[in-house]
A and B are shown apart, each in its own frame.
Chain A
Amino acid sequence: MTSILVRANRNFLFQHPWQLALALIGISLGVAVVIAIDLALESSLQSFQQINQVVSGKTSHRIIARDGNLNEKLYTQLRVELGIPNLAPVIRGNIQLANHPGEPFKIYGIDPLIEDTFQSTWRLQTSNQKSAISLIRLVSEANTALIAKVTAEQLALKINDHLAIATPKGTLNLKIIGFLNQNSTISSQILKNLMITDISTAQEILNQPGKLSFIEFMSEGNNDKRFLESIRNHLTADTLLITSENQIQSMRQMTKAFNINLKALGMLSLLIGMFLIYNTMTFLVIQRRRLIGGLRCIGVTRRQIFTLIISEALFLACIGSLLGIFLGVLIGNALLQLTSTTIETIYYQVGQVALIISPEQLGKGMILGIGATIFAVLPPAWEATKVSPTSSLIRSQLERKIYKFTHIAGILGLISVLGGVILAFSSEKSIFLGLASIFILLFGFALMIPGLTVLMMKLLEKISNHFLGILGSLPPRMVGSEISRTGVAIAALMIAVSATIGMDLMVNSFRQTVSDWITTSLRADFYVSALSNQSSTQKQLIDQSVKDKINALPGVQMLSSVLHTRIISESGLIKASVFELNNKSQDGFIFKQKIDGNLWQQFEQRQTIFITESFAYFHELKVGETLFLHTKKGHQPFKIIGIYSDYSGDQGHIAMTRKWYQQYWKNSGFTGIGIYADTNANQQQLKQNIQKLLTPELTLKSNQSIYKASMEIFEQTFVITNALRWIAAGIAFTGVFSALMALQFERIKQFGILRAIGVTQRQLTLLIMTETGLIGLIAGVCAIPVGYFMAYILIFIVYLRSFGWTMAFHFNVSVLFQGLALAFTAALLAGILPAIKMAQTKPAEALRSE
């Protein structure tokens, strides 16, 4: 291709900055959202791995306790009695700097004298004599610590300076005796706000004497089976041996639903972004029809024209993708905190997180952006090759071909919809396939749009012709006759609006279900609960003594209690709720199966459990089956006698009575206490009396305030989803806007003729606005059933598979009207500018354009 040819085109591109910007926005937003989500999730997991590398080095296994706290004695036992050499004990927790409260800081207590084999980051630097001494000093001198150089600089600390830590027993000054080695494999972000001390110092700061968070060690290959077995034999019912790989995998598993659902939204943005690109390129081809015709005339081949358009698109795609990656990193950083919090609440502590960007992820972003662009640009590039200088009617001929194509597209669409439905119901438990079915459905419905539009417009044309005359019948005719342009705009708007309707219906149903559930569950008048303790990984529990005192208060009719803990089962660590229930709180359970009269009797008196429906879904358990739990009396069978609704966590848990828990596990405090007042008790007075009994870590809440707080959390979980949805809608709107702009631009001559024969400016504006309004209405009308469909699949397939929750479909008519109104106003708004611009174009000028 000659450089002149390229230049002729490139100049043209830069003469239309507005269109250029739209195309770039389309590509970059789509890429950004996908990249951001990917980066945030992967970084959370990677940070977890890196922090292990820093603290313990290379390890393959980890011993953990079900409640998070290991007894130090286990370490001594394994090391001394079993003579196992390579063990790395770790205690970790969150601390507060006395002079920088609110700044998150983590402490890791380690044993600096363990063997070299771990190759941990802090260990590697001991090759250098000076720091070897500082390691010994970590143990030999009390209250000494290592921090990263960046942190030291930030806090303006030098070696031998002191750092004040707030502990439960007052301020403690730690002497900085060395810096953590920074190397290229570890992100410097990870080392920030992190300190390493020896175990006893950390235990003292965290106020957990004799406790460890975990013990790690390295074990390679299968010949270590006997070795692992001997360790396992030493573990109590409260401890568990897991592989590091296993742990990463479970984290991945746990965040899968979260991950896939967010990525789907990212893909939706990209899909709509593709429409924008398609649109811009089409617009650029139309505007250049004369130029292209001229080029063809002087001997430029079709292939050259095609290459020209595609290379132009590639150029845009590269810039757009790069911008998208940049934007994606920014958004990813913001998302990171959110995703890691989610992971932490679901599973283990992640520790410090940092955005870790890998070249593969960036490559993925590039490929995604470029691939989507090329795909979207093929039709306009093809159209460009069809431009011939001799035939001035090529547009209408093309339209006629496309007209035929609407039939084929309609049939293909129908097949896709059917395929999507089949996939949705036959894909068993796969979340990915569930979401894929939504995409296939959306795609199918979008394909049916042009055919449907033509049909509807034919009908409308007849009606309007009869009532409004020829001028009045022009809008539906214009929509129908240029279906290759209008059809795409309608389809894009339809997808965006149906996604909005679908998600609104889903969230509304979900909200209603959760609200019903909370209302049903909250039986007590007041609840006492423990705040999570800042300085440890463990949640503070309520003492038995507090409960006894509350029970003795006048006006208290009865109490209930719950302990949220973890139990080791055959399939690993599971969550358990241990209840003391009364006849009122029993009504708070919503069972998924028919219950008979003696269910509660069985629950109290036999070795039985209830499980939540998520738990049942993910562990494939049914009523009547048995779950084996590790207890201090060996593996014990617990019969499942009930499955109940719970929307509080997404992996589910089991429920048992406190009586059975105490029999098999060591006694501990309570997470929450429910207080039932006498019917004639003065609630205000009672509340004050209870308050007097509580320590500062404990809070007292009425059931209304718990309800309110719970619903607030519910709304918060949809913040990202909502933001992403509006981004998608925003892209769609821009797309519709530019499509309408392009469409009207193409028709400028037709408008010139109308003006020449006496159509006024006002009539022309009305004409164009009616057309765009129609486009919005069709999109809105089609979006209603599609959105409804989408909500159905989201509720009964995607959410069920993601979280194991079943919810009721709460149909809400106002959501449908809102969707319709959204589509209509969006199109109308998008039409205003082109309409005004067209009406104000002088007819003489309009007639001059070809």
Chain B
Amino acid sequence: MSIIPAVAIHQLEKSYLESDQKHHIFSQLNLSIAPGEFIVLLGRSGSGKSTLLNLVSGMDQPDSGEIIVNGINLTRLPEHERTIFRRHHIGFVFQSYNLIPTLTVEENLLLPLELIKRINSTDRKKVIELLSKLNLSDRLDSYPDRLSGGEQQRVAIARSLIHNPDLILADEPTGNLDLDTGKKVLELLIGLVEKAGKTLIMATHSREVIGSADHVFSIRNQQLLPSNDNL
């Protein structure tokens, strides 16, 4: 009996058309990640880290190849189904926080839950609990633009976890933060994900996280290669 991989990618092809020229990002890319693993994606700017995360979350579609998340083949799903899938199974952390500016911190966290089910008082408790783990329990009613970058990113982390997804995708979560804050935010993220036993794929430039990663890949020549730095 084999375990279903959290993410499996077969023969992925992805290119962009830029003024009539095909610009290849990935060709024949393969990947398999076991549940609960922490994967770090390295690669220079423009190598396709964000593109890969977008493909895995179903926000983007490849030219060919297969992306299977939790046993579900995303490339075969229509747009609507992919959205519903994302809603249930994926949590996102972006470089520039990307909270909804018109919603308070609490509402930003409740929104992913609301998309799944009716919100009740236990959900609110859950939000408060999670926020207190992130040292943000006093900012429940603040609007995002009143928070510092580090605080916003902590809220974003909470948002990516609140609906209990199987897979968390983080795209340079510390890119906009200073070194110290970045470190703390990373620790929180990795700690929480590990404790919950979730799969985490993180695209980053910072090498500090490499130590706690299960695998480190880097995108080179349109392929995913185990990173040399790890060796």
Residues of A within 8 A of B (CB): 392-393, 396-397, 469-471, 474, 477-478, 481, 749-750, 752-762, 842-844, 847
Contacts and interface: CB of A to CB of B under 8 A. Distances in A.
Interface in B165-191: none
B145 interface: yes
Given A750-B100, A756-B57, A758-B115, A470 B83 contact: no
Contacts of B38: none
B119 interface: yes
Interface string B92-123: 10101011111100010011101100010000
B103 A470 contact: yes
Contact of B79 (A481, A756, A761, A844): A761
Nearest to A760: B83
Contacts of B195: none
Nearest to A846: B59
B159 interface: yes
Nearest to A395: B101
A752 B57 CA distance: 13
Contacts of B98: 749, 752-753, 756, 847
Contacts of B103: 470, 474, 477
18 contacts: A396-B101, A397-B145, A481-B101, A750-B100, A750-B101, A752-B98, A753-B99, A753-B100, A755-B83, A757-B86, A757-B92, A757-B111, A758-B86, A759-B115, A842-B60, A844-B51, A847-B59, A847-B98
Given A471-B111, A844-B59, A477 B102 contact: yes
B84 interface: yes
7 shortest A-B CB distances, which residue pairs?
A: A758-B87, A477-B102, A844-B54, A844-B60, A843-B59, A844-B59, A753-B98
Name the interface size band of chain B.
20 to 34
Contacts of A474: 100, 102-103
A672 to B, nearest CB: 70
Given A477-B103, A759-B87, A844-B59, 12 more contacts: A471-B114, A474-B102, A474-B103, A752-B98, A753-B94, A753-B98, A756-B57, A756-B86, A757-B86, A757-B111, A761-B79, A844-B60
A754 B86 contact: no
Contacts of B94: 753, 756, 847
Interface string B39-81: 0000000000001001001011000000000000000000110
Interface of B: 51, 54, 57, 59-60, 79-80, 83-84, 86-88, 90, 92, 94, 96, 98-103, 107, 110-112, 114-115, 119, 145, 159
A478 B145 contact: no
SS class, residues of chain B in contact with chain A: helix
A761 B100 contact: no
Contacts of B83: 755, 758-761
A842 B59 contact: yes
SS class, residues of chain A in contact with chain B: helix
B115 to A, nearest CB: 5
A461 B192 CA distance: 34
B106 to A, nearest CB: 9
Nearest to A850: B96
A617 B195 CA distance: 89
Most chain B CB neighbours (cut-off 10 Å) among A471, A750, A761, A843 = A843
B159 A757 contact: yes
A739 B2 CA distance: 56
B59 A755 contact: yes
B145 A471 contact: no
Contacts of B145: 393, 396-397
Contacts of A396: 101, 145
A755 B87 CA distance: 9
B97 to A, nearest CB: 10
